[in-house]
Amino acid sequence: MVCARGLRGTADHGTCGAGAGSRVPHPPSTSVLLNLFETEQERNKAVGVIAVSQMLGLPLGPIVGGALLNHFWWGSVFLINVPLVLVGTVAVTKLVPESRGSQDTGIDFVGVLISSVGLTALTFGTIEAGEKGWGSTETVMSLLGGALALILFVVWEARIAAAGRDPLVDLTLFRGRGFIWGSILSTIVSFAMFGLMFALPQYFQAVRGRTRSAPVCGCCPSSADCWSGPA
């Protein structure tokens, strides 16, 4: 609602809040499958449905957003989320049973803080490199600071696990080659997909002179590969 109103000094903050809030349901949506579906086959199908729905959002989001911008004012791209959130909230309240863990594991707040600082610094350094170059002071300091923070994060997580507490990331997962290569490939695919979804619409509009909704159709074939995997 704040983004749609476009109040000075609040639209950018509202956009950041909306983006952060959209990621909150992802971990619980996967973990709750253990309670909703009893057999492994049903859980695999449910995970596939969630993955496909997320991949569908990549091309459909910009297409719907472009159509709204062609016919309504720019704030409509934010207001369209309001009824979807309301429907989702009612559906979760009525259909998803309440569940609790067998033990209180707690939250590794220090790990959350360190990892957030490291990833933010790396992201900022990468952005600055595009504007000021990889050799600029801001870029080098941000990348080094982010790398050091992530190294500290690994050390902290190992210390937490050695103390018998629950770490934010179970480092023993990286002992498996399948997990390592799966993480590497998913990271590469994510960078490529989101890079294309960000750059191609601007190219089609600024260089090719297309409408707001038409350019995104060129991104749909790149999403087809992601649909076929989970399906």
How is the chain split into domains, by residue range? 1-99+211-231, 108-167
Helix axes 177-206, 220-228, angle to 10 degrees: 160
Q: Which of 11-15, 43-47, 210-214 has the highest mean pLDDT?
A: 43-47
Q: Provide the percentage of residues in the chain whose pLDDT is more than 70.
A: 73
pLDDT value at residue 202: 75
Reduced to 3 states (helix: H, G, I; strand: E, B; else coil), residue 230 is coil
> What percent of the chain is modeled with pLDDT above 90?
15
Closest CA to 221 of 203, 200, 206: 200
Tokens in use for 227? 């649909």
Q: Is the pTM of this model over 0.85?
A: no
pLDDT band at residue 197 using 50, 70 and 90 as cut-offs: confident
Q: What is the pLDDT of residues 176-193, one digit of tens each?
A: 888 888 888 888 887 877
CA distance 114 to 121: 11
In this predicted model, what pLDDT tens digit does every residue of 51-100 receive, in sequence order?
777 777 777 777 777 777 778 877 777 788 788 888 988 988 887 777 66
